[in-house]
């Protein structure tokens, strides 16, 4: 996970101003693999987001894989950023990796209050899935 966080930091820290980071965030959203249409369901919708955001987890071989999408370009970029860090990780790795890197790359300081709340909701959802999958391993 540390390697992924470092990659994200490197990707965004090469830009000195927010506008370039904003463009990079949108590019990251465009790089997302297409979201499965059959998972575009209220069950996978992230509550607390102003935009529509879907986050679908898969749990295979002890690892969590996230698929995400949004109807807003910037938010889709945030989804891409979060899934690039937290997807293909164990539940323990997810829970041990707080989203401080978002502040370090200057993402959180430039978001509106609504988008910040939405980001917090996405992180809460990712962590909740990790807790659920971790508890399933112990059964």
Catalytic-labelled residue, pool 46, 49, 53, 78: 49
The alpha helices in 14-99, defined as continuous H runs, are: 18-30, 73-86, 91-95
Q: Give the separation between CA 95 and CA 115, rounded to whole angstroms.
A: 22
Q: At what angle do helices 73-86 and 2-13 cross, to 10 degrees?
A: 140
Tokens of 22: 């904003």
Strands (E) in the chain, as ranges, are 53-60, 63-70
Length of the chain: 139
49 a catalytic residue: yes
> Which residues are tagged catalytic?
49
């Amino acid at each position: 996970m540390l390697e992924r966080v470092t990659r994200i930091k490197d990707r965004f820290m090469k830009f000195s101003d927010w506008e370039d980071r904003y463009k990079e965030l949108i590019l990251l959203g465009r790089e997302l693999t297409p979201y499965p249409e059959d998972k575009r369901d209220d069950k996978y919708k992230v509550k607390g987001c102003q935009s529509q955001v879907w986050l679908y987890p898969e749990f295979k071989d002890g690892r969590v894989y996230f698929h995400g999408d949004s109807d807003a370009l910037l938010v889709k970029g945030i989804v891409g950023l979060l899934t690039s860090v937290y997807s293909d990780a164990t539940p323990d790795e997810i829970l041990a990796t707080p989203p401080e890197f978002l502040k370090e790359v200057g993402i959180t300081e430039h978001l509106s209050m609504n988008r910040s709340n939405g980001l917090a909701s996405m992180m809460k959802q990712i962590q909740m899935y990790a807790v659920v999958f971790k508890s399933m391993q112990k059964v």
